[in-house]
């Protein structure tokens, strides 16, 4: 078995979509970066890599057995054993997982570029390990778990705010005031105003969702800010992301 040493990881917990496991260039100084002393490296099939990167389902039992207690973290100069963790690659991309003792990849991380390159060097010329995936329910994307294509090209901040916008829209759809949907559709797309009377709440909702789930623009940002106003939980997320932007701007000046 191949092993890697002294890896820097930035864990993203409970993420089922790989686009939320941020690449190194999107790591933030307030993220909790940790040092892995030793961890197994596995070359796997593209199918298994995608399954682990973009889902939160049980991992193949033979894979868990192969990596059991072979990872060590360094914390306060002490070496701590990790139940199930590994670096995985399909030869094209790299991800790290830690199950926190469970059987699914609860925590995921990317690697820094230098260590990614080392992964590709170490597996060059080798054949992928064969682990069969149990028949699982086909993953469905929805408003609270958008398809990767709808997040493509967005920055970490934009992805976070887009998810926040989708949460606010989902709450709006299921609220006791569905007539508000028409108001927000007009805010989003004033050209729809003449046709609003002809639309049912469902049709208005579909237009609003289909419009906002594509890309990210200043219009998205404005709608998101207005929708979350007065909702403490949502406002906290909004302020956190915008606070990060102000820190970044200040550090560049």
- In our burial notation (b when 16+ CB lie closer than 10 A, e otherwise), range 75-112 reads eeeeeeebbbbbbbbbbebbbbbbbeeeebbbbbbbbb
The reply to whether 130 falls in a domain is: no
Q: Are 53 and 108 in contact (CB under 8 A)?
A: yes
Residue 178's pLDDT is 78
Residue 253's pLDDT is 38
Q: Give the tens place of pLDDT for each residue, 14-54.
A: 999 999 999 999 999 999 899 999 999 999 999 999 999 99
Residue 133's pLDDT is 86
**How many folded domains does the chain comprise?**
2
On whether both 69 and 182 belong to a single domain, the answer is: no
In which residue are the tokens 């995936």 written?
133
Residue 136's pLDDT is 66
On whether both 17 and 79 belong to a single domain, the answer is: yes
On whether both 25 and 114 belong to a single domain, the answer is: yes
Beta strand 85-89 pairing with 94-98: antiparallel
Residue 251's pLDDT is 46
The reply to whether 141 falls in a domain is: no
User: Where do the H-state alpha helices sit in the chain?
Assistant: 46-53, 61-67, 113-123, 156-173, 180-188, 201-212, 218-228, 232-252
Residue 249's pLDDT is 39
Residue ranges in the chain whose pLDDT is less than 50: 246-253
Residue 127's pLDDT is 96
On whether both 118 and 153 belong to a single domain, the answer is: no
Residue 246's pLDDT is 45
On whether both 114 and 161 belong to a single domain, the answer is: no
Residue 168's pLDDT is 96
On whether both 179 and 110 belong to a single domain, the answer is: no
- Identify the domain containing residue 153 by its residue range: 148-252
Residue 247's pLDDT is 47
Residue 76's pLDDT is 80
The reply to whether 129 falls in a domain is: no
């Amino acid at each position: 078995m191949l092993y890697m040493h002294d890896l820097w990881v930035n864990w993203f917990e409970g993420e089922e979509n790989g686009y939320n496991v941020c690449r190194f260039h999107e790591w933030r100084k307030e993220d909790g970066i940790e040092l892995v002393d030793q961890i197994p490296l596995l070359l796997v099939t593209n199918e298994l890599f995608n399954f682990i990167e973009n889902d939160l389902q049980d991992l193949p039992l033979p894979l868990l057995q192969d990596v059991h207690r072979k990872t060590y973290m360094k914390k306060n100069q002490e070496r701590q054993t990790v139940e199930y963790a590994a670096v995985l690659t399909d030869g094209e991309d790299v991800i790290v997982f830690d199950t926190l003792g469970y059987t699914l990849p609860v925590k995921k991380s990317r690697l820094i570029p230098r260590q990614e390159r080392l992964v590709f060097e170490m597996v060059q010329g080798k054949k992928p390990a064969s682990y069969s995936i149990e028949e699982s329910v086909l993953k469905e994307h929805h408003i609270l778990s958008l398809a990767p294509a709808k997040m493509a090209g967005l920055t970490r901040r934009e992805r976070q705010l887009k998810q926040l916008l989708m949460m606010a829209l989902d709450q709006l759809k299921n609220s006791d005031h569905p007539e508000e949907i028409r108001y927000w559709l007009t805010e989003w797309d004033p050209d729809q105003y003449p046709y609003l009377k002809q639309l049912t709440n469902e049709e208005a909702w579909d237009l609003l969702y289909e419009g906002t789930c594509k890309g990210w623009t200043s219009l998205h940002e404005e709608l998101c800010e207005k929708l979350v106003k007065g909702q403490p939980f949502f406002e906290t997320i909004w302020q956190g992301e915008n606070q990060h932007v102000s820190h970044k701007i200040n550090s560049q000046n």
